[in-house]
Amino acid sequence: MHESRARDILQDAELQTRHPAWCPEHRKTHAGSGARIAWQIVLTATLSEQMPTQADNLNPRHHIAEMLVNRTESLSVAPPVAFQVFMLTQGPNYTCEALVDLVRLDPNLTAQILRVCNSVIFRGQGVSSLQEAVLRIGNGALAEMAMSLTLGKLLAVRRTAYCPEPNALWKHSVQCALACRYLGKYCEGILWTPDVAFTAGLLHDIGKMVINSAPPEDTARILALMEETGRTMADAELEAIGADHAEIGGLILERWRLPEEIARAVRFHHAPEFDRSGLATLVHVGDECAKIAPGPEAWDDFASALSPFALQHLRLSLPRVKACWDEVMTDVDAIDRFMWS
């Protein structure tokens, strides 16, 4: 389908769903009392029953996402070690020895891991081999480190107006991943493993790499829309190029054949009411935590950006999230000092 034709169809078909229910633009559009009641009914129905179906893969937004991903060669295959490490952690043959054997295949990664293990993060423990590293930090931490460092190369995007800081996307992704892992411990009745929560958080904005390589006039339009209308980045992307980074990211992970629950969590991290498993909601909360800028308004901004049902869905309270984020920040500060100083 031609891109401009797809955009026309998108505009016709998606006027009703362009803004997530908590988005200020959505509220402006549906400010009348009748509309408000109607949207409460829609939202209630969404939370209880509505799940995206096969038809979602046929919508114009999905076609545009496919066209954009097809143009980005660096994403055609998953970073091999990161992908294999994750799959190993999920399989029956997951042992320390198997993890070490896998990571050892990449000498650069091995060197980076040893460097991190000998850094301030681990108080310079004098680690000289991967086996020692596993003994000191545990295989879970080693797997997370291997995935983060491998993806760091991929997420170190070129500097553009859309991504003005080359390492900012990686830094934000690691912070979100840690938030998901820590917050996941406090979510009641949730079935995902810490590895799955961490990986979903780490990959949640991978679609931004595709948009970052779009023509400058497209990214300029996205930024102008955000500036002029106060739209969120995802809404501005949808308006400007016909697909947002969440849709694009979900598609990339499907192509990498990551577990469906992770692809869905990434696809719906800005519209978590569409993912009943709750993993998208966890990523949504972790993402908003990772956007917190220090200052007196920080938690007010967090609460207003959050989907209204998110904490309820995960059975988390705001004080619990704050306490958890303090825990995350201890790790983040240490990583910041080493990685980005």
Q: How many CB atoms lie within 10 A of CB 9?
A: 16
Please name the residue that has the structure tokens 């043959």: 93
Query: Quick one: which H or E segment has residue 330?
Result: helix 318-339
Helix count (H) and strand count (E) of the chain? 20, 0
Interface with Fe ion in residues 131-190 (CB under 5 A)? none
| Shortest CB 93 distance to Fe ion, Å | 33
Neighbours of 177 (CB within 10 A): 26
The distance of closest approach from Cβ of residue 177 to Fe ion in the complex, given in angstroms and rounded to an integer, is: 11
Question: Between 103 and 177, whose beta carbon lies closer to Fe ion?
Answer: 177
Give whichever of 275 and 287 is closer to Fe ion, judged by the CB atom: 287
Instruction: Report if residue 205 touches Fe ion, rule: CB under 5 A.
Output: yes
Q: Residue 288 interacts with Fe ion (CB under 5 A)? A: no
Could you tell me which stretch among 102-110, 184-192, 198-206, 222-230 binds Fe ion (CB under 5 A)?
Answer: 198-206
Minimal distance in Å, beta carbon 118 to Fe ion? 30
With respect to Fe ion, which residue has the nearer C-beta, 235 or 287? 287
- Residue 270 CB, nearest distance to Fe ion (Å)? 6
Q: How far is the CB of 184 from Fe ion (least distance, A)?
A: 17
CA dihedral 268, 272, 277, 278 (to 10 degrees): 120
Q: Three-class SS of residue 235?
A: helix
Return the number of the residue (114 or 305) whose C-beta is nearest Fe ion: 305
Q: Which stretch in 51-59, 66-74, 162-170, 286-294 sits in contact with Fe ion by CB under 5 A?
A: 286-294
Between residues 81 and 246, which has the closer beta carbon with respect to Fe ion? 246
Q: Is 235 in the site for Fe ion (CB under 5 A)?
A: no
Closest to 284 measured CA to CA, from 252, 260, 248, 309: 309
For Fe ion, which is the closer residue by CB, 66 or 205?
205
Cβ proximity to Fe ion: between 205 and 247 the closer is: 205
Helix or strand run (H / E) with residue 188: none
Give the residue from 186, 197, 176 showing the smallest Cα distance to 291: 176
Smallest separation (angstroms) from Fe ion to the CB of 283: 8
Q: Binders of Fe ion: how many residues, by CB under 5 A?
A: 2
DSSP state of 106: -
DSSP conformational letter for 174: H
Shortest Å distance, C-beta 150 to Fe ion: 19
Question: What stretch of H or E contains 193?
Answer: none
Q: Choose, by CB under 5 A, the member of 237, 244, 287, 288 that binds Fe ion.
A: 287
CB of 64 closer than 8 Å to CB of 10: yes
The amino acid occupying position 284 is H
Interface segment toward Fe ion; rule CB under 5 A; list 145-153, 179-187, 212-220, 284-292: 284-292
Name the packing angle between helices 279-290 and 260-267 (round to 10°). Answer: 50
Q: Which residues bind Fe ion (CB under 5 A)?
A: 205, 287
